[in-house]
Amino acid sequence: MLGRQTLKLRPTLGSQFSHITRSLATAPLDASRLQVTPISHPSTPKPNDQLVFGKTFTDHMLTVEWTKENGWDAPQIKPYANLSLPPSACVFHYAFELFEGLKAYRTPDNKITMFRPDMNMARMNKSAARICLPTFQSEELVKLMGKLIEQDKHLVPQGQGYSLYIRPTLIGTTAALGVSTPDKALLFVICSPVGPYYKTGFKAVRLEATDYATRAWPGGVGDKKLGANYAPCILPQLQAAERGYQQNLWLFGPEKNITEVGTMNVFFVFQNKATGKKELVTAPLDGTILEGVTRDSVLALAREKLDPNEWEVNERYYSITEVAEKAQKGELLEAFGSGTAAVVSPIKEIGWNGQAIHVPLLPGEQSGPLTKDVAKWIADIQYGKEKHGNWSKVVADLN
Ligand SMILES: *Cc1c(COP(=O)(O)O)cnc(C)c1O
């Protein structure tokens, strides 16, 4: 085991410094040090139709403790259980907390794969660095999540739309009320078997364009998956719900630029009368937008698959005013949210300034044509029907 390594300064530097020791290196996150304590009675999988998003969890969890002094301790896989923390732990007072969300899928050749976990790990490290929690070796946490999933592989649901939602979390655990850099932290990962977000195909949603509350701002932390970003968004969502809208379409600034929808990134499809092309557009990553893995995947696939003679794919600023004007002229074609949980979520109406902006849907359907294509492109890769570079990472082979 790698403990603290100390360096005694050479006596020639003077006896007055001989008591000084310096930490050379603290232990990195190391998957090879994993210790597994299996549950005594593994649970039986719930029938698919009883899976509720994020309410049931697998038998095991992963925990890794960190201290400033020693670095990352040996990772543990152990039965899913309550945490025990002092009430003074800094996570409870100053929101030293961040999380990730990604999924694992069962493929037709009976493997379990994670979708683009390297992207989530990179983002998690950025979130950690921003709130002075420890960063870690991304590949090691990918390996450890793989072991955790393998431990409960019988609980990864089977079937189109079903998957295992993985929730890596990092909290500061220093037991002190002074606001300062945490010197203790806990990384843990829990997993929840989940079903399709929309049980009976798509269900297009109504959004309220929201300018009276602001989700994120320049110089803020809206581009990080910090727990502190989410609680303040519930009240505006309830207020929108009272008026019959499922989610907020978050606007920013005097220009009323469109940023995100609820906890998803958002895409619009416009007809560009000048060029005769269609345009798929989403807001640029300027620090106020969460860098969604689904967003990145939609952009990459659109750029690969859409004919550039007919399509433009743009990351640019655009406002609710532009959307309203385009809708009036019949140039608003589609809109959808993107995120790990629902993958794509079609939008049918946006309330703005007391008016309803209607987003066209395919006749008798709950989405537009591109929304439907994008959903299929991504699902085919996630469920192993199509291969796309290294987007699918095999974590277990059940053959
Ligand atoms: C997690 C999240 C997203 C979507 O990110 P994915 O990596 O695609 O799941 C978008 N916006 C917000 C605010 C988020 O928290």
Q: Residues 159-176: pLDDT tens digits?
A: 999 999 999 999 999 999
What pLDDT, in 10s, does the model give residues 290-305? 999 999 999 999 999 9
In the numeric block, the tokens 């996570």 are attached to: 91
Categorize the per-residue pLDDT at 197 as very low, low, confident or very high, splitting at 50, 70 and 90.
confident
Bin 362: left if φ > 0, else alpha if -120 < ψ < 50, else beta. Answer: beta
Question: Is 295 a pocket residue for ligand 1 (Cβ < 6 Å)?
Answer: yes
Name the closest-CA residue to atom 15, ligand 1. Answer: 263
pLDDT of res. 18: 42
Categorize the per-residue pLDDT at 399 as very low, low, confident or very high, splitting at 50, 70 and 90.
confident
For the chain, which residues make up each domain, given as ranges?
10-194, 205-382
221, 248, 263, 338: residue to mutate for ligand 1 pocket, most atoms within 8 A of CB = 263
CA of 6 from ligand 1 middle (Å) equals 41
What pLDDT, in 10s, does the model give residues 329-354? 999 999 999 999 999 999 999 999 99
Domain 205-382 belongs in CATH node 3.20.10.10: yes
Instruction: Ligand 1, residue 123: give the atom nearest the CA.
Output: 7
User: Does 148 have pLDDT greater than 50?
Assistant: yes
Which region among 4-13, 209-218, 257-266, 312-321 has the lowest average model confidence (pLDDT)? 4-13
Among residues of the chain, what percentage have pLDDT more than 70?
94
pTM of the model: 0.93
What does the alpha-carbon distance between residue 136 and residue 366 come to, in Å, rounded to a whole number? 42
Sign of CA dihedral 63, 67, 68, 71: negative
User: Does 17 have pLDDT greater than 70?
Assistant: no
Categorize the per-residue pLDDT at 180 as very low, low, confident or very high, splitting at 50, 70 and 90.
very high
Question: Is 101 a pocket residue for ligand 1 (Cβ < 6 Å)?
Answer: yes
What pLDDT, in 10s, does the model give residues 203-222? 999 999 999 999 999 999 99
Question: Can you tell me the mean pLDDT for 176-193?
Answer: 97
User: Does 252 have pLDDT greater than 50?
Assistant: yes
Question: Can you tell me the mean pLDDT for 278-299?
Answer: 98
CATH T-level fold of 10-194: D-amino Acid Aminotransferase; Chain A, domain 1 (3.30.470)
Categorize the per-residue pLDDT at 255 as very low, low, confident or very high, splitting at 50, 70 and 90.
very high
pLDDT of res. 199: 77
Question: Is 215 a pocket residue for ligand 1 (Cβ < 6 Å)?
Answer: no
Question: Is 193 a pocket residue for ligand 1 (Cβ < 6 Å)?
Answer: no
Question: Can you tell me the mean pLDDT for 2-11?
Answer: 43
Dihedral, 255, 214, 302, 317 alpha carbons, nearest 10: 20
